[in-house]
Structure 1
Amino acid sequence: MLGSVVVPTLRDNLRLLPGTPDEDGAPRWLLYDVVRNKYFAISERAVSLIRHWQPGFALESFLSFLQKKNIEIDAEELHAFVRFLVANNLVLARDQGSCAGLYQQGAGKRVGVWKWLLHNYLFIRIPLVRPDVFLGRHLSLFSFLFSPAFHFVILFLGFLGILMVIHQWDEFWSTFLYFFSFEGVLVYGVTLALVKCLHELGHAIVAKRYGCRVASMGIAFLVMFPVLYTDTTDAWRLRSRKDRLRIVSAGVWTELYIALLATFVWAVLPDGSIKSAAFFLATTSWVTSLLVNISPFLRFDGYYAFSDLIGVENLQQRAFELGRWKMRRLLWGWPDPLPEPMPRYRVRLLFAYAWATWLYRFFLFLGIALLVYHFFFKVLGIFLFVIEILWFIVMPVIRELAVWFKRRKEFRLTWRRSVFFASMFFLIVIGAFPFSVAVSLPAVVRSEQHQIIYPAESALISLSRVSHGGNVTEGEEMIVLHSPELEFHIERTRQEIAMERVKLSRQASSLDEKTEYAVTMRRLQQLERQLRGLDERKSKLSIYAPFSGGLDLLEPVHVGRWVNKEQPLISFRQELGIIVEGFVSELDVRFLSEGDKAVFIADRGDFTLGGLRLERMELSAIPSLPYPELGSDFGGHMAARQLREGRLVPEQARYKVMFDHGDLDDIKLDGRMTGIIVVEGARRSWLGYQLQQVASALIRESGF
């Protein structure tokens, strides 16, 4: 087999550089591809092979040559190294077979436009500038950024600014709420772009300071969202992990320093545009640094910093291998050896990191799937959503399940695994078992006939014949109001009418007045209509009982007090019985049926009403809240938004439910009483309910 393999010729533009020692302290080297700006870490044994490289030799002959040089290496290891060089295009293609291999390799990587977009729409990188020459010429301009005095001043001002913001926290928070608008979001976007430019410039400056080449800076699209990037691949040539860590963390430190300085500026400046700009810089830098860049679970700054900090290269790939090994060992007892030898503490660290990353990625990819669904038009959104779920969540699970099925005969059952699987089965049974579920819904208990009286005008109480808790008969006069302003308008209108009538009586004595007869008559008619309207308003100042029943005073009603038309004065109730109404959400409708038992619990806590039974439920959702006090804006239990015309519309579809209260008609209520009704609904399982929720969402979103 080895006799047909020929030692290929290494490319002339490769460079061999000393690298960082291996994790066990063994020396390593870097094979640098100048053309593609790529680094390949190789061992001391691989370097010894390169030193004695004999292009054109058959592999068996080269193996014999190495043995004469006292280099111990087996045939399989040598063949694997040759395959590594060929696969990474580190050799020259001088014969027809090598050229054909390179052509096939390139053809295999070429895909159509749609397939390329499908695999790369999550992350596309476009280089824009090559700043290496510019940074080399002007690096001295940034030397002050690395002085201890600069760091001390920024940290001191930032600490002082934070203390001052704490003392002005109400103003700071109100500023945040003020800018939470369309204009605020727009300015935030511009500020975020500026901060990210400085972030990437921080990477580039620190990399150049340590002698690395900054190959390119540009823009990348993460799920079609533009982000900036800096190519600091050349940092691999640094032998010190601390230096690489400084380059990786430079962007985060830049944003934090901007946030500290902007926080101080906001705290000391008076109101104005500069203070607003400082607010945006401070909040944007804090949020993006702490919530985005520091995360070690994605291949951003936090990941590479964490990798250098613990001294583990290819962190995610190696951690995932270890995580799968540990999971298979715990679940099935497979006695597979460790993927690679490492200390026990590192095994535990990478195992925990792998599982945390899987959990993080599950929710992240699910969020990205929802994001692409809502950002694009419906057909493309559904397609990308399905691809996202299948490619990043379902397919890895299927591949792992395929390995389990293939090796199912190697399963080893122990008492611990028996307890574990029995517990999982028990939880599934519990989740699938239907339990009786109590459904809570906002409700109102009110008198069967109820009315609240408001004053017709802003007026003075001149007569009052009512008392709290008293009874009245229909048509009985209760309150008489007096409005001096209304009396003034009535008297003035009467005087104007009298003047117009005098003009009409003199129509025969003056030729000019005769010509104005029509005008005077029209004016007189207008004044008479106006007087009738004023008299009608005056008649409404006397308040009569709309029906016989009890009343309660909502405001003190005594002679000499001023009231306005927005003040509720009296609450009437006709003691014919009570009505109990609830409003159930669309998600809980299926769990209610006629005859279900229920109990009402008032919000005020001193009233309950038991023995209720569900009488009927309306088929259509309510268009608006019939009782404003049930809305969230007024302290109620239902989330609602107010339209321009004043109506409150529930955010979620609600259905009106009527309850029968039996023989409780003798209960007297002071107006309306809000609370919740707890209904003993139909039996349901938690697992079935969750599946119904998913199915409902899919059916709802599948409509076009």
Structure 2
Amino acid sequence: MSTQNFTVREAGALRPRLREGLRFSIQQQAGERVCMIEDPAASRFHRIGLVEHRFVSALDGRKTVAGVLAQLAREGGTLVSEAEAMQIVHWLKEQNLLAVDSVRGSNTDREMREQVARAAATWLNPLVCKIPLFRPDAFFARVEPLLRPLLGWAGLLFWLAILITGAVHVAMEWPRFQADGEGLLSRDNWLWIFLAWTLLKVAHEFSHGLFCKHYGATVREAGAILVVFVPMGYVDATASIGLASRWRRMMISAAGLYMEFFLAAVAAIVWARTEPGSLHTLAHHMVIIGTVVTLFFNANPLMRFDGYYLLSDFLEVPNLATRGRQWLHRAFLALLTGGKQATPLRPRTREEWITAVYGCAAWVWQILVLVGLLLVASIALRGGGLLLAIVGGILWFAIPLLRFWSMMTKAIRSGSGSVFTLVWRSALLLALAGAVLFFPWRRTIGSDGVVELADTRVLHAECPGFIVRELVQDGDLVQEGQLLVELANDEATAELAERKLALAQQELRARLAYTRDDMAAFQSQQIRTAALRREIAEREAFLATMQIRAPFTGRVTNRQLGRRQGVFAHAGDEILRVGRDGEFEVKLAVRERDESAFRGKIDQPCEVRLPARESVASGLVSRVEARATRTPTHPALTALAGGPLPMRRAEEHTQGQDDSSPAYELAEPYFAATVHLSERTDLLPGEMARVRFRDAHPTSLWSETNRRLAQWIQRVTSGSGGGQSGT
């Protein structure tokens, strides 16, 4: 006789009795009435039908299963069959809902070992650790009456008003908000991130407990969860599952998000109304953590946080994660062993489809999160992080794999599937996974650029002044030395006239000293005269730059030519461009991660796509600058002109160090590169282009993921974006 499962004879002789402390409630779910069994000791809930509830509630330990069925038959109504009764008793035992003295068998030691193993995996896992701290129910019972007025419609309207106000403040200052986020995870910001995180998460869990108590449920436990040593609080609000109203359950699940969004909006208002400083930095980090981070983690339905319980209640599918995982286990079991399942795998109802889809999606997401945490720990924490990642990975995978292995061995022993099928299908899946992760391939490198005339030279205003004459139009052919644009600066001209007058007076003083034979005074006056002449020569040369001439024979390009007369040009402003006629090149902005690939492509052909013409040209990479810069390669590439490169407010301009500096700069450094187009002569300067080619060095999905993740960690923790090649 097996000790692992009930036999019909054993079950029929049992006098099962439910554990003390279980609570039953009737709810409406998916259009039908069901019974929810609450197990307060384990903080778990179970759903059964009303027919099953009638049978379960009659298990008092005095009658056998057959006796219970006979009694229910005499009372009349819908009954479960004897086989279904056996299954229910077996399920109650597996869920630890029966009193220990009512169950015979040798499963207790095995179940105890499994519980000890699960507890060890929870406490010893260095990447995720849950630490219960206290029971907060009495605290919330005292606080809830004081805050009750804020938990109704008035509080909701106030919440909406603050949320809209905060969003408007951030939208109006979006470039500055982006600039303040540069180097968010740098070491200098760790203290502010920790403070912002702590404040938000304490408020998050407080809100869960407050709404849970407000709707009449018990708040059993509160504590902390460490995820890669990052503290995250938790409040056990699972008692809310027993509430009959699903909208109240959903509000309790959303209470943490509700509070964090409110505090993030308040922080946004504070950030917008304060100058750079400690409070300004703390408020900025609270906005980021209270919105982006909260949405990514807490609102994500694929993780068992707030978003999961919201989705489960909204779809009216309880235990969605557990049932999805069970369906996935059965699917993998059938796939690997080839055996037939007692329950059909193909979903037939809406609830079964939701369960199957969620199970697959949650499994993929958990794998991605697990691998991501392991990679972050191994990269960010160096050698010690790698050791933690290995230990955490083993603990995370060990129990699920052992449980799944136990399921497969049972299936094979029962005749459902074969060892041969298990071996070759497992080997095939491992081979496919290895091929996806480690198969070498050459990635496509791409960068956006702008078509220009070859050897284009940008002519800037050296001396500020008003544009008084534009002697050429966009696209005109010009000769070397030809006058193109003339500027005027009356103030600089007047200063030059004053210096010339001062020179004339100085020369007169020198002649007077000479006629008096005062050689000492004459030599002194001569020195001053020479200094004035040098100053005048420099001023004349400076004013001569207001006559902008062609540096070589070519074609001018600037769509604003002919429309800027009377406009004031600051020093450094672009006036026009001159390039070689009939020859074209593409000016590129290359990301730091692609710099080495472009540098290795110098003097080699590449593909140039011209979206406006829907055509492809052939080019040759001719140059890659030695240093990365935040100065745009071409204005058309920036987001301000509708291009792909994001911008931020320039640090010098923000700090007021130099009013003539550009107001905006690139959000991250780029390398300027040039691709020569030898075959096309029908292009127009200013056309957008995209350069593409295959990287010469093969890579794999695994190595590429590691490389990009390492670059991202370095960028967000450095606080500066670099400025030189990382090669």
Q: TM-score under structure 1 normalisation?
A: 0.62
Q: Structure 2 vs 1, CA of residues 588 and 349 (structure 1 numbering), >3 Å: closer, same or farther?
A: same
SS of the residue aligned with 2:20?
strand
Shift of 1:567: 5.8
Change (3 A) 1:525 1:21: same
Letter in 2 for 1:203: H
Write out per-residue CA displacement over residues 632-666 of structure 1, whole angstroms, 9 at most, x where no aligned residue: 448566779989899989846676555544xx8xx
Counterpart residue type for residue 173 of structure 1 = A
Aligned to 1:490: 500
User: Residues 573, 650 of structure 1: CA spacing in aligned structure 2 closer, same or farther, 3 A cutoff?
Assistant: same
Residues of 1 paired with 2:226 and 2:84: CA distance? Answer: 46
Report what 1:355 is aligned to. 360
Equivalent of residue 224 in structure 1, options 229, 244, 257 = 229
Q: Deviations over 1:186-209 (max 9, x none)?
A: 889766655544443343345445
Aligned partner of 1:442 in structure 2 is 449
Determine which of 114, 119, 124 is the counterpart of 2:130. Answer: 124
The within-5 A match list for 1:74-223 is 119=125, 121-127=127-133, 129-137=134-142, 140-144=145-149, 150-151=152-153, 153-157=154-158, 171=169, 173-175=171-173, 178-180=176-178, 193-194=198-199, 196-208=201-213, 213-223=218-228
Specify whether residues 657 and 235 from structure 1 end up closer, same or farther in structure 2 by C-alpha distance, changes over 3 A only: closer
- SS class of match (1:20): strand
1:379 to 358, 378, 383: 383
- Match of 2:301, SS state, is coil
- CA-to-partner distance for each residue in 1:259-316, whole Å, 9 max, x for gaps? 679979999xx97899999999999767677665454332223434554566655432
Shift of 1:91: 7.2
SS at match of 1:298: coil
Provide the C-alpha distance between the structure 1 equivalents of 2:148 and 2:709, rounded to a whole number of angstroms: 57
Name the SS for the 1:229 alignment partner.
Answer: strand
> Partners of 1:315 and 1:329 in 2: how far apart?
21
* In 2: Cα distance, 1:309 partner to 1:337 partner: 30
**AA aligned opposite 2:224:** I
Q: Quick one: which amino acid aligns to residue 531 of structure 1? A: R
CA 1:218/1:505 → structure 2, altered by over 3 Å: closer, same or farther?
farther
Deviation at 1:676, TM superposition (A): 2.7
Letter of the structure 1 residue corresponding to residue 155 of structure 2: I
- Say yes or no: does 1:676 pair with 2:681: no
Q: CA RMSD, aligned part only?
A: 7.0
Q: Which of 242, 245, 263 matches 2:245?
A: 242
Distance 1:399 1:590 in 2: 51
- The match for 2:78 is none
C-alpha distance in structure 2 between counterparts of 1:177 and 1:294, whole Å: 26
Residue type matched to 1:230 in 2?
Answer: V
Matches of 2:694 and 2:689 in 1, distance apart? 18
Q: Which amino acid aligns with 1:487?
A: A
Q: Deviations over 1:669-699 (max 9, x none)?
A: 99x76643667x67999x9875784586599
Q: Which deviations, in whole Å up to 9, do the C-alpha atoms of 1:344-376 show, x marking residues without a partner?
A: 3432232232223234434444444454456x3
Please tell me the residue identity of whatever aligns with 1:676: A
Match among 529, 532, 535 for residue 534 of structure 2: 532
- Aligned counterparts of 2:635 and 2:473: Cα–Cα separation in 1: 29
How far apart are the structure 1 equivalents of 2:571 and 2:361? 62
Q: Distance in 2 between matches of 1:107 and 1:562?
A: 79
Aligned mates of 2:703, 2:472 — CA distance in 1: 57
Q: How many Å apart are 1:580 and its aligned residue?
A: 3.8
Deviation at 1:488, TM superposition (A): 1.4
Task: Pick closer, same or farther for the CA change 1:609–1:177 going to 2, 3 Å.
Answer: closer
Per the TM alignment, residue 491 of structure 1 is displaced from its structure 2 partner at its CA by: 1.6
Q: Which residue of 1 aligns with 2:655?
A: none
Aligned partners of 1:123 and 1:220 also within 8 Å: yes
SS in 2 for 1:204: helix
Does the C-alpha gap of structure 1 residues 460 and 502 become closer, same or farther in structure 2, counting only changes over 3 Å? farther
In structure 2, relative to structure 1, the CA distance for the partners of 1:656 and 1:135 (3 Å cut) is closer
* 1:362-373 correspondence to structure 2 within 5 Å: 362-373=367-378
Describe the superposition over 1:549-603 as per-residue Cα deviations: whole angstroms up to 9, x where unpaired: 356596569999987754666766676x7364665745865996977586674x9
Q: Distance in 2 between matches of 1:320 and 1:465?
A: 75
Query: Percent same amino acid among aligned pairs?
Result: 15
Secondary structure of the corresponding residue to residue 676 of structure 1: strand
Give the residue type in structure 1 aligned to 2:245: K
Return the alpha-carbon distance in structure 1 between the equivalents of residues 598 and 557 of structure 2: 38
2:264–2:290 CA contact under 8 A, matched in 1: no
Q: Per-residue CA shift, 1:3-52, capped at 9, x if unaligned?
A: 9x99xxx9xxx73444236999787866665xx88889997777766634
- What's 2:323 paired with? 318
* Counterpart AA for 1:125: I
For residue 252 of structure 1, what is the aligned residue in structure 2? 254
Distance 2:507 2:448 in 1: 60
Structure number with greater Rg is: 1
Q: Which moved more, 1:19-28 or 1:342-351?
A: 19-28
Selected match of 1:549 from 553, 559, 571? 553
**Larger mean Cα displacement after TM superposition, 280-289 or 651-660:** 280-289
What TM-score, normalized by structure 2, do the two folds share? 0.60
Task: Please tell me whether the aligned partners of residues 467 and 569 of structure 2 are also in contact (alpha carbons under 8 angstroms).
Answer: yes
CA deviation after TM superposition for structure 1 residue 173, in Å: 1.0
Greater relative CO (CA pairs within 8 A, separation 6+): 2
**CA separation in 2, counterparts of 1:560 and 1:82?**
88
Q: CA deviation at 1:490?
A: 2.2
Distance, in Å, in 1 between the alignment partners of 2:484 and 2:170 is 56
Q: 1:561 to 1:491 in 2, by over 3 A?
A: farther
Cα distance in 2 for partners of 1:18, 1:266 equals 44
The answer (yes or no) to whether the contact 1:471–1:551 under 8 Å persists in 2 is: yes
* CA 39–264 in structure 1, closer or farther in 2 if over 3 Å, else same: closer
The residue number in structure 2 matching 1:578 is 583
1:256–1:286 CA contact under 8 A, matched in 2: no
The 1:346–1:284 alpha-carbon spacing in structure 2 relative to 1, beyond 3 Å, is same
**Compared with structure 1, are the counterparts of its residues 691 and 492 closer, same or farther at alpha carbon in structure 2 (3 Å cutoff)?**
same
* 1:58 counterpart residue number: none
Listed one character per residue, the Cα deviations across residues 474-523 of structure 1 (whole Å, up to 9, x for unaligned) are: 69999898823212122224324533664576586xxxxx9xx58x8557
Give 5+ residue unaligned stretches, structure 2.
74-81, 422-427, 653-660, 715-725
Aligned 8 A contact 1:580 1:659 in 2: yes
CA distance in 2 between partners of 1:567 and 1:29 (Å): 74
DSSP-derived class of the 1:336 partner: coil
Cα gap change, 1:362 to 1:632, in 2 (>3 Å): farther
User: 1:629·1:674 contact (CA, 8 Å) conserved in 2?
Assistant: no
Which residue does 1:623 correspond to in 2? 627
Q: CA deviation at 1:320?
A: 1.7
- Provide closer, same or farther for how the CA distance between residues 337 and 590 of structure 1 changes in structure 2, counting only shifts above 3 A: farther
- Structure 2: how far apart are the matches of 1:597 and 1:16? 73
Is the Cα–Cα contact under 8 Å of residues 447 and 669 in structure 1 kept in the other structure?
no
Aligned residues of 2:471 and 2:485 also touching (Cα < 8 A)? yes
Does 2:316 correspond to 1:303?
A: no
The residue type equivalent to 1:446 in the other structure is L
Tell me by how many angstroms 1:246 deviates: 3.0
Q: Secondary structure at the match of 2:125?
A: helix
Q: For 1:343 and 1:478, how far apart are their aligned partners in 2?
A: 77
